Structure 1
Amino acid sequence: MNLILETDRLILRPFELSDAEALFDMDKNPEVHNYLWQKPVTEIEEVHDYINMVRQQYVDNNIGRFSTIIKETGELIGWTGIKYVTGHIENGNTNFYDYGYRLNEKFWNKGYATEASVAWLDYGFNTINIDKMNAYTHTQNGASNHILQKVGMNFIEDYLDEHGALWKWWQMKNPAI
């Protein structure tokens, strides 16, 4: 996949195997996983497997999560992007577009997630013509819930996952449709 998106401060590009160290640094941090099933990675091979899985999604669905990099420094700060969810049921849904992001803790509260979110929603609605974008966040993740609301997503409902954790389901319809 050769798509690259840019914002004022960020470059959003497909995963490369060379991203593994920076992604491992992010995903081994328990704070990053506080609202993500409490399962930080412990081996870099887990990150290699994740990169390969996402790269296969590029082939299968022509979209997926992307490395998110600060233009000025070249630092990989995490991932952002659109995923087409298949083979998994979330809040009774499958075969849907999901927007998501995960950033290394040292890059939180700097506006990067909001900036990337605006770019991805624009791309999803105006370039690939998605009719509606979904997202889901742990109900107690105030920062992520705030970001999704700020970029125009609408809270639809709270729901329990298969483990009994409470999540929020968000959705935004394509404004051009």
Structure 2
Amino acid sequence: MQFYLETERLILREIQDSDVNGMFELDSDAKVHHYLGRNPISTKQEAKKNINFIRQQYKEFKIGRFAVIEKKSGEFMGWSGLKLNKGKKEALNGYQNFIDIGYRFIPRFWNKGYGLESAVACLNYGFTKKNYNVIYGAADIENIGSNKILQKIGLQFVNEFDYKYEQNIIKVNWYELKKENYGK
């Protein structure tokens, strides 16, 4: 699969094995995982496993999370993209086999509009190139930044649900955007 998108400040491309250091920096950071179950990784082998999972999604479903590279520095910033949540194992809020939009950035890239910029590009790609009928999003109710991004790109709040992660129950907002409402 070949994937490449550009925005004003970003390059979105396939995650590669060579991104292991960036993925480790991202997913080993406790701040990044504050709203994601508070279970950061602790080894580069775990980062490699995450890369392999994403690359398998590319092969199987022709979609996945993509590396976000800052144009001016060439630095790996995190990832953004669409993902097929397949089967019972990846079910969420009673949904199976759905496309969701997500993004995750290394903290030094927070609060600069990169999440919104990448999400706009990915949403457009999903509706115009992949021709999806509906795209979903979910965010911990306390993650104000992520909730704002989902709302700014046009996803509509549907409901709040409890997500059980290990021993924790997290309150999560669920959003959706149907293709016929995209851009309105």
Unmatched 5+ stretches in structure 2: none
Equivalent residue for 1:108?
110
CA drift of 1:176 comes to: 6.9
Question: Partner letter of residue 77 of structure 1?
Answer: M
In structure 2, the residue matched to 1:77 is 77
Q: Secondary structure at the match of 1:165?
A: strand
Match of 1:166 in 2: 171
How far is the alpha carbon of 1:38 from its aligned partner?
0.3
Segments of structure 1 that go 5 or more residues without pairing to the other structure are none
Deviates more, 1:26-35 or 1:163-172: 163-172
Q: Distance in 1 between matches of 2:164 and 2:142?
A: 17
Instruction: State the Cα distance separating 1:131 from its structure 2 match.
Output: 0.4
- Secondary structure at 2:145 match in 1: helix
Give how far 1:111 is off: 0.4
Specify the alignment match of 2:100 in structure 1. Answer: 98
Cα deviation for residue 61 of structure 1 reads: 0.3
**1:93-172 aligned within 5 A:** 93-163=95-165, 164-172=169-177
CA distance in 1, matches of 2:151, 2:163: 21
Aligned positions, number: 177
Partners of 2:115 and 2:170 lie apart in 1 by: 24
The aligned counterpart of 1:29 is: 29
Q: Alignment identity in percent?
A: 40
Aligned with 2:116: secondary structure? helix
RMSD of equivalent CA atoms: 1.1
C-alpha distance in structure 2 between counterparts of 1:160 and 1:149, whole Å: 20
Runs of 4+ in 1 over 4 A off after TM superposition: none
Code of the residue aligned with 1:147 in structure 2: it is I
Secondary structure of 1:175 counterpart: helix
Aligned amino acid, residue 177 of structure 2: M
- In the other structure, the counterpart of 1:40 is 40
Residue by residue, what CA displacement relative to the aligned partner does 1:85-112 show, whole Å, maximum 9, x if unpaired?
A: 1032100001000100100000000000
- The separation in 1 between residues aligned to 2:159 and 2:170, in whole angstroms, is 14
Aligned counterpart, 2:66: 66
CA distance in 2 between partners of 1:95 and 1:158 (Å): 20
